[in-house]
């Protein structure tokens, strides 16, 4: 975390260049460093967070809220919201300096983020960027003032959904999304590590391609057997009808010498083949 923090507060001074062995970081690099630092911060306990020099950290992040780059400002805002959440710092809207333990730096940060949440004009920003900035900072201010985080719902293809309601999980979710890209949905459905991180248990009703093919094969076999059975029944009925028409004139009843084998032989032959005729016993 210390190395990342040195990149975050790097201002291009000779001392910082000698310490890091780098030149002044570009805005994308600085935004990435803030995001990575926040990701590590999200894994710390409240006790370890409170052990940090919070006034100094908040002061540095407060300066970054004035950075010309929108990515740096947004990353700094998320880091501040995370600090307030994990550190248990909740400022009510009506609190003034000294009331409820609020410090001048904490109140200054809240005022800065309120201004960014209401800002409608800044050089170099598109309309979409301004809208995204206002929406993001409104959610952050809500956390700073009341401890609540905007709930995020991630819907999966098979009906499951993951609900995120803390900044710690929001930072972790964004990190996994950025890392996994298009594979994020599949990993969230199947990866045990992500299940542990987000305390998420998806349902086990996913039908995979292999299972689907097997089910299709079984359905085809059942349909084929059903068709064969219907054909056999149709042939048996037709054979019985022909036998009756040939053996007995209309109105004539079945006489005693006709055995059961003679009556049912055509039916059995249609169902089971010509072997029945060969196995028939001589008539007594």
pLDDT tens across 222-232, in order?
677 777 777 77
Whether residues 95 and 179 fall in one domain: no
In a domain, 33, yes or no: yes
Do residue 161 and residue 245 come from a single domain?
A: no
Q: Identify whether the C-beta of residue 77 lies closer than 8 Å to the C-beta of residue 140.
A: yes
Identify the pLDDT of residue 28: 92
Q: Taking residues 97-120, report their average pLDDT.
A: 76
Residue where a domain stops, chosen among 206, 228, 246? 206
Which residue among 116, 135, 150 closes a domain?
150
Mean model confidence pLDDT for the chain: 75
Eight-class DSSP state of 183: G
What would the mean pLDDT of 74-97 be, rounded to a whole number? 73
Does residue 68 lie in a domain region? yes
Interval 125-139: pLDDT, tens: 777 777 877 888 888
Confidence tier at 64 by pLDDT (50, 70, 90): very high
Same domain, 140 and 157: no
**Model pLDDT, residue 33:** 93
Whether 43 shows a pLDDT value over 60: the answer reads yes
Q: Taking residues 6-34, report their average pLDDT.
A: 76
Query: In angstroms, rounded to a whole number, what is the distance separating the alpha carbons of residues 13 and 17?
Result: 6
Domain check: are 100 and 172 in the same one?
no
Q: Between these two residues, 216 and 11, which has the higher pLDDT value?
A: 11
pLDDT above 60 for 255 = no
User: 263 falls in which pLDDT band (50, 70, 90)?
Assistant: very low
Same domain, 237 and 194: no
Residue 52 pLDDT > 50:
yes
State whether residue 74 is helix, strand or coil.
helix
Which position has the higher pLDDT, 257 or 106?
106
Same domain for 113 and 220, yes or no, is no
Question: Is there a single domain that holds both residue 77 and residue 179?
Answer: no
Query: Residue 84: what pLDDT?
Result: 84
Q: Assess if residue 135 is contained within a domain.
A: yes
Q: Which of 165, 180, 206 is the last residue of a domain?
A: 206
* 190 and 173 in a common domain: yes
Do residue 160 and residue 216 come from a single domain?
Answer: no
Cα–Cα distances in angstroms (integers) from residue 230 to residues 213, 216, 217, in the given order: 26, 21, 20
Give the strand pairing for 152-155 and 161-164: antiparallel
Shared-domain flag, residues 134 and 29: yes
Distance of CA 208 to the CA centre of its chain: 17
Number of domains in the chain: 3
Q: How many CB atoms lie within 10 A of CB 136?
A: 20
Supply the pTM of this predicted model. 0.63
Same domain? For 136 and 253 the reply is no
251 and 169 assigned to the same domain? no
Q: Which domain holds residue 240?
A: 209-278
């Amino acid at each position: 975390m210390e190395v990342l923090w040195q990149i975050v507060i790097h201002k291009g001074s000779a001392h910082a260049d000698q310490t890091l062995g780098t030149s002044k970081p570009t805005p994308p690099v600085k935004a990435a460093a803030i995001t990575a630092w926040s990701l590590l911060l999200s894994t710390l306990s409240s006790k370890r967070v409170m052990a940090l020099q919070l006034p100094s950290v908040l002061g540095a992040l407060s300066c970054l809220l004035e950075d010309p780059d929108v990515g740096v400002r947004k990353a700094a805002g998320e880091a501040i919201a995370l600090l307030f959440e994990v550190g248990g710092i909740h400022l009510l809207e009506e609190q003034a300096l000294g009331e409820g333990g609020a410090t001048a730096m904490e109140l200054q940060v809240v005022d800065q983020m309120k201004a960014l949440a209401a800002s409608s004009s800044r050089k170099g920003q598109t309309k979409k960027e301004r809208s995204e900035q206002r929406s993001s900072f409104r959610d952050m201010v809500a956390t700073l003032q009341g401890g609540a985080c905007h709930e995020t719902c991630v819907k999966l293809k098979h009906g499951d959904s993951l609900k995120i309601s803390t900044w710690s999980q929001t930072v972790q979710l964004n990190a996994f999304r950025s890392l996994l890209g298009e594979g994020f949905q599949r990993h969230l459905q199947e990866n045990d590590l992500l299940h542990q991180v987000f305390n998420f248990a998806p349902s086990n009703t996913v039908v995979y391609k292999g299972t689907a093919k097997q089910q299709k094969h079984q359905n085809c076999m059942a349909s084929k057997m059903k068709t064969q059975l219907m054909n056999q029944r149709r042939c048996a009925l037709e054979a019985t009808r022909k036998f009756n028409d040939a053996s007995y004139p209309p109105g004539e009843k079945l006489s005693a010498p006709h055995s059961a084998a003679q009556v049912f032989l055509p039916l059995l032959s249609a169902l089971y083949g010509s072997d029945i005729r060969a196995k028939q016993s001589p008539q007594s």
